[in-house]
Structure 1
Amino acid sequence: MLSKFQNHIVSRFPFLAQKKLFLAVSGGIDSMVLLHLFRQLNYKIAVLHCNFQLRGLESFGDQEFIQNYCDQNNIKIFTTQFDTKAFAEDYKLSTQIAARELRYSWFYELLEEENFDYILTAHHADDNLETFIINLTRGTGLDGLTGIPEENDRIIRPLLPFSREEILKYAEENAVEWREDSSNASTKYLRNKIRHNLVPVLKEINPNFLDAFQKTQSYLQETKEMVDDASIIVYQQVAKEAGDDIHFDLNQLKKLPNYKSYLYQWLNEFGFSAWNDIYDLVEGQSGKQVLSGEFRLLKNRETLILSPFSGSSENDEYEINENDTEVNFPLKIKLSNVSHTTYDSNRVIFVDSEKIRFPLILRKWREGDIFQPFGMNGKSKKVSKLFKDEKLSLIEKEKTWILCSDDQIVWVVGIRQDERFKIENTTNKILKIELQ
């Protein structure tokens, strides 16, 4: 196995040579074999071990075992302990998900703090099969069926082509010591049920089942790459990026015979899960929307607009004081005294300095806001009616700011100035306010 492993590393991960590598070691047979293999190949390694405190004294026995092993072999080791159950309860997570969140968060912190390059884990072919079956039972797309990736950001899984049987044989032949996790024998967890009850049956039906499965995964991966390429090409025809937003042209989208598949490809990474609701948006009424944790998909006439979903409060207010010449948050605004006016853009207004009262207040618009639009001879109008006339989408409305003097609107920023603060023949001081 050592020769096969070395060839695999050289051909698949040549960039690991001369890099500083963290090996995630639990003390079980898989990670101890991974550690033994890399010791034989003389890579620059250090060990990471997480004590999740889930198995009482056994967890601390694992930590002591690995600490002693690293001390005896002059390997640098980093250890940490987590109150995993408390974390899971606090964040309403399963124990397994909580452990994963804690583990990888700590891994990435150490990468930066210790200036290491990659983290290597001991996932192998049987783990990949179990993950495939778990995803299959829950319902999944191509991403779930392609299993555990060999390389994901700075996480590398060099044992994925090797079976549990190969790893056990190597451990026995090379006298590799390891610790047995007592929880692996329990069928309380879904993965263990699959490992102990289902996989043996599949291997009994076909002794070469694992090899056949790996071929299938290879075909699925090739199919996924083809789908990804097609998705990019169609995206360029249908989508237009505008700042933080993405606009999908529904007229172009609906020409595709399988547009739902493309929407899934494009939106999956943004955390959406209510796919039927998303598909219904295509034929739904303008103004309807679907939310994920941090993003929103809005139907706006013949467009779907994907945008970050802001949790900022409409009650947030920001002061602009008399001596301020520039504001950088939440908008970038420049203020200056000028001697004449040039009306050439909605992004600039000129006001009579003697009509305003500082501090000016910058805030989001609110239902019921009324102002006197510039050029309408003092007639009042609801800001919401202005939005309707301008055909603004819900997202554009929510992004609109109002500049106020006392309780009066001076400017619907970037759209329309208020008549009450305009320059007149009697104006002595002109203030230019510019949205940059």
Structure 2
Amino acid sequence: MHSIRSKSTYEIALFCTDGYHANPKCEPMLTPFLSFLKQQNLIIDTRKETLLAVSGGVDSVVLCYLFKQAGLPFAIAHCNFNLRGIESDEDTQFVHTLSHHYKVACYSTRFQTKDFASDNAISTQMAARDLRYRFFYSLLEKHGLHQIATAHHWDDSVETILLNFIKGTGIMGFCGIQPINGKIIRPLLFARKEEILNYAKQENLSWREDSSNKDIYYQRNFIRNKIIPLLHSINPNFEETTKDTCKKLTDINKLFQSHIHTLKQEILYFHDDLCYVAIDKITHLPWAATAVFEILRSYGFTFEQIKDFIVEPKSSGKVIYSKDYELSTDRKQWIIRTKTPSNQLAVKQIIVEGTLQVQYGNQILYFNTFENQKYIIKKTPYIAALDYDTLQFPLILRPWEEGDAFYPLGMKGRKKVSDLLIDLKIPIAVKKNVHILTSNNEIVWIVGLRIDERFKVRNTTKRVLEIK
């Protein structure tokens, strides 16, 4: 028993096979706190410090207190957002005093939050969120800390669910705040705000009140102070019934995501930095729009955009954009590619004699010269074998343009590049990346597709320029 007594409260709780209530050290809030940590597997290594996000409010103060009571190592991180004048400075001083009391490290910083929000055209709340998490992650890396713990409680989760419902969401949005998300854990999600307040008073803890919490200008505050009281008039146990509903929806979401994973394997494939979606496999199904939205969620397209595409699945040439990607239709499939700055592939490149390699976009052309009698022509459009002595340097590499024409290999007549691309059924998303190589303003090679008849290797060719 001596070895057990030398352990932390958290480790003793883990040792108790008949539940946390068997531990006499556990206090009213500490008992469910320890239980929640174990159930959700939030503390992987009890020897490493967890970085606690501490504002000075009652929630984060209780979080610190519980970590201390449990004997879990921690450090404190605090952000001063310069939004409440002297109040913000007093919060910072309070948090530093708290860290001295617990004899733990305190890392604090100050942000010009409103300037950051204005510069990035985002709300003040979103700016504050972005800034603090950047700061927290930098501390993890710099000081070798284990993870970040925030003081979100169940009432916060309910507010998030209502916000998601009002703004529009998928099933995941109804599952509330999750106990763990990568390096972020939320150890107080088991508790209601009222429980946290009562516990803080019971333990005679001090904390700071944030006056902005009463300002209904902020959406969360409006929901907290106006909407939820109305919902209580219908259901006094609104938060508890919401918790039960979230548990059911979380389980349903796991089943749903399992099916989505299977669908991804069936309809997505990748080639040459493009993602192809075999949309014709599921467009006939009544739930197609929802499934495709979930499958493509990581690319940032909206549900409305996906719905429009589902309605007209055979409308080739249609294009939509997210922040970083573009999605286009091509017959029975969709194609997703990274958005390319308009000037990135539009630059002409001059290739002088003796050049060994040239990069354009995410492609590289390699140049080699061979004596004809030693050269074997490779039958692939990705390699151009050209009669060196028919070329006039410098060569020009550029995107194809409407009106460009050449003499395709094996043909006597002239053909427009646009017509060849149509004949080869090149998707619109790929057409944008097609380049041509010219010599003295004549097309030598439509890169990766077809060389010009006039520049092919013949029996009379002495030197071969191979480009691949």
TM-score under structure 2 length normalisation: 0.86
Q: Rate the CA distance shift 1:171–1:406 in 2: closer, same or farther, 3 A.
A: farther
Q: Rate the CA distance shift 1:17–1:319 in 2: closer, same or farther, 3 A.
A: farther
- Equivalent position of 2:367 in the other structure: 335
Q: Is the 8 A contact 1:347 1:415 kept in 2?
A: yes
Q: Is the 8 A contact 2:51 2:149 kept in 1?
A: yes
CA deviations 1:131-164 (Å, max 9, x no partner) are 1112222232212111112111211111111110
- Equivalent position of 1:322 in the other structure: 353
Counterpart among 289, 302, 309 of residue 260 in structure 1: 289
- Equivalent position of 2:410 in the other structure: 375
Q: Rate the CA distance shift 1:110–1:319 in 2: closer, same or farther, 3 A.
A: farther
Counterpart among 12, 16, 30 of residue 2 in structure 1: 30
The answer to whether the aligner puts 1:214 opposite 2:243 as a matched pair is yes
- Equivalent position of 2:26 in the other structure: none
- Equivalent position of 1:238 in the other structure: 267
Q: Rate the CA distance shift 1:185–1:384 in 2: closer, same or farther, 3 A.
A: same
The answer to whether the aligner puts 1:147 opposite 2:147 as a matched pair is no
Q: How many residues matched? A: 433
How high is the sequence identity, in percent, across the aligned residues? 37
For residue 293 of structure 1, report the CA deviation from its aligned partner: 1.2
Instruction: Tell which deviates more after alignment, 60-69 or 419-428.
Output: 419-428
For residue 392 of structure 1, report the CA deviation from its aligned partner: 0.5
- Equivalent position of 1:296 in the other structure: 326
Give the partner amino acid of 2:67.
Answer: F
For residue 23 of structure 1, report the CA deviation from its aligned partner: 0.9
Q: Is the 8 A contact 2:444 2:452 kept in 1?
A: yes
2-side partners of 1:174 and 1:320: how far apart?
77
Q: Is the 8 A contact 1:250 1:282 kept in 2?
A: no
Counterpart among 385, 388, 408 of residue 353 in structure 1: 388
Q: Is the 8 A contact 2:305 2:320 kept in 1?
A: no
2-side partners of 1:232 and 1:21: how far apart?
33
Give the partner amino acid of 2:56.
Answer: G
The answer to whether the aligner puts 1:396 opposite 2:426 as a matched pair is no
Counterpart among 305, 308, 328 of residue 279 in structure 1: 308
For residue 399 of structure 1, report the CA deviation from its aligned partner: 2.4
Task: Structure 2: give runs of 5+ residues left out of the alignment.
Answer: 1-28
2-side partners of 1:257 and 1:173: how far apart?
55
Q: Is the 8 A contact 1:281 1:299 kept in 2?
A: no
For residue 184 of structure 1, report the CA deviation from its aligned partner: 0.7
2-side partners of 1:19 and 1:365: how far apart?
58
CA deviations 1:323-378 (Å, max 9, x no partner) are 3334455423322222224141111121222333444333332333233322223x
Q: Is the 8 A contact 2:328 2:335 kept in 1?
A: yes
Q: Is the 8 A contact 2:51 2:76 kept in 1?
A: yes
Task: Structure 1: give runs of 5+ residues left out of the alignment.
Answer: none
2-side partners of 1:217 and 1:246: how far apart?
34
2-side partners of 1:409 and 1:191: how far apart?
62
For residue 24 of structure 1, report the CA deviation from its aligned partner: 0.8
For residue 33 of structure 1, report the CA deviation from its aligned partner: 0.9
Matches within 5 A, 1:174-213: 174-203=203-232, 205-213=234-242
The answer to whether the aligner puts 1:11 opposite 2:44 as a matched pair is no
Give the partner amino acid of 2:367.
Answer: L
Q: Is the 8 A contact 2:33 2:190 kept in 1?
A: no
CA deviations 1:13-53 (Å, max 9, x no partner) are 24142333211111111111111111222223111111111
Give the partner amino acid of 1:324.
Answer: T
Instruction: Tell which deviates more after alignment, 396-405 or 384-393.
Output: 396-405
The answer to whether the aligner puts 1:75 opposite 2:104 as a matched pair is yes
1-side partners of 2:192 and 2:394: how far apart?
70
Q: Is the 8 A contact 1:21 1:45 kept in 2?
A: yes
2-side partners of 1:277 and 1:227: how far apart?
18
Q: Is the 8 A contact 2:318 2:329 kept in 1?
A: yes
The answer to whether the aligner puts 1:172 opposite 2:172 as a matched pair is no
Counterpart among 396, 407, 421 of residue 387 in structure 1: 421
**Residue 332 of structure 1 aligns to a residue in which SS?**
strand
**Residue 15 of structure 1 aligns to a residue in which SS?**
coil
Instruction: Tell which deviates more after alignment, 345-354 or 212-221.
Output: 345-354
Q: Rate the CA distance shift 1:269–1:331 in 2: closer, same or farther, 3 A.
A: closer
Q: Rate the CA distance shift 1:156–1:86 in 2: closer, same or farther, 3 A.
A: same
CA deviations 1:65-93 (Å, max 9, x no partner) are 11222134321111111111111111211
**Residue 177 of structure 2 aligns to a residue in which SS?**
coil
Stretches (4+) displaced over 6 A: none
- Equivalent position of 2:462 in the other structure: 428
For residue 279 of structure 1, report the CA deviation from its aligned partner: 3.3
TM-score under structure 1 length normalisation: 0.92
1-side partners of 2:201 and 2:251: how far apart?
36
- Equivalent position of 1:307 in the other structure: 337
2-side partners of 1:204 and 1:382: how far apart?
72
Q: Rate the CA distance shift 1:150–1:357 in 2: closer, same or farther, 3 A.
A: farther
Q: Is the 8 A contact 1:281 1:289 kept in 2?
A: no
Q: Is the 8 A contact 1:136 1:145 kept in 2?
A: yes
Q: Is the 8 A contact 1:23 1:119 kept in 2?
A: yes
Instruction: Tell which deviates more after alignment, 240-249 or 118-127.
Output: 240-249
